[in-house]
Amino acid sequence: MSIVIALLVFIILPYYLTGNVVVYTSNGYKLTIENKDDSFSNETRQHLIDTYFKVMPEMNAYFGQNKRDARLTIDPGYKGAAVTTGSNIVLSAEFIRKYPESYDAVTHEFAHVVQSYPKYDPSWLVEGIADFARYKWGVNNKKGGWSLPDFKSDQKYTDA
């Protein structure tokens, strides 16, 4: 009975009290999820939450940062895959619905939160570090069909 009450108070009730915005906290980390998509899967939501609380402490430690707060918006109107500005991430509802095993896209985006560069420059370095972070800390890359590209002798480091 106490488990049912805990679920009601800590998971279900906050969702209904705040509309489609839910705040999750663990060990000093906070993830706010705003869901603008009525058909968004609870299973995918849980993967995103679990990924955040697993990878953020590891990335913070590795990069010497202390970023503990992020906001993730599931947006059916966003046409890219995902984008990060500051600590705000927009994830395409269409992308994650079409590729539900590619939820490590948020590992890449969480890396941008940790990077917290004032400018997106140089982009090849910013994106390269985020790809490295996904490679190193991604929890579902193989199943999601993602890997770093194979080396080609004609590529340049600025190709990112």
- Which of 82, 84, 104 is CA-nearest to residue 92? 82
Say which DSSP state 11 is in: I
Mean pLDDT within 92-113: 96
Report the C-alpha gap between 35 and 27 in whole angstroms.
23
Please report the pLDDT score of residue 17 as a whole number.
Answer: 45
Mean pLDDT within 79-85: 96
What mean pLDDT is reported for the chain? Answer: 89
pLDDT above 80 for 8? no
pLDDT above 80 for 10? no
Output the CATH code of domain 21-137: 1.10.390.10
Please report the pLDDT score of residue 96 as a whole number.
Answer: 96
Mean pLDDT within 6-27: 65
Q: Give the pLDDT band of residue 156 (cuts 50, 70, 90).
A: confident
Report the C-alpha gap between 1 and 34 in whole angstroms.
29
pLDDT above 60 for 15? no
Contact 49, 103 (CB under 8 A): no
Please report the pLDDT score of residue 155 as a whole number.
Answer: 84
pLDDT above 80 for 130? yes
